[in-house]
């Protein structure tokens, strides 16, 4: 399936379900790395994002993310997204608005 078709499907979906690379206990952040065939659309475009991970993917803090990525710049993913709750902005008439630049709801499910 072409990337444009996947993007269009994700934009029209009511719910995006993804795995994560890691979940950060300290901040409640979800770390999603983009790689070939593993884009960001499903976590960013639908109004609701459900992330699924195993207990082994839970790491203590953000410093551990960089340790897990390793020192080799050649091996870094093309993009690393840190998701810490629903999208929020205060740009529109200085009023806090949820879900404008991404999902309005984010749910994390731990299996295992």
Taking only the tens place, the pLDDT of each residue in 6-64 is 778 888 899 999 999 999 999 999 999 987 777 788 888 899 999 999 999 999 999 99
The 10 Å Cβ neighbour count of residue 16 is 20
pLDDT in the model for residue 17? 94
* pLDDT digits 0-9 by tens, 72-108: 766 788 889 999 988 787 776 778 887 777 888 999 9
Instruction: Indicate the pTM of the whole model.
Output: 0.82
- Report the alpha-carbon angle 11-27-39, nearest 5: 30
């Amino acid at each position: 399936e072409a990337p444009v078709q996947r993007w269009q499907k994700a934009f029209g979906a009511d719910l995006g379900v993804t795995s994560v690379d890691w979940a950060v206990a300290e901040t409640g952040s979800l770390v999603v790395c983009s790689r070939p065939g593993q884009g960001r659309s499903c976590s960013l475009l639908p109004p609701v994002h459900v992330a699924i991970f195993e207990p082994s993917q839970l790491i203590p803090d953000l410093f551990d993310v960089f340790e897990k990525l390793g020192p080799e710049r050649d091996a870094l993913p093309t993009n690393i997204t840190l998701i810490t709750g629903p999208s929020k902005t205060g740009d529109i008439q200085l009023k806090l608005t949820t879900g404008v630049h991404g999902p309005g709801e984010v749910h994390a499910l731990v299996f295992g």
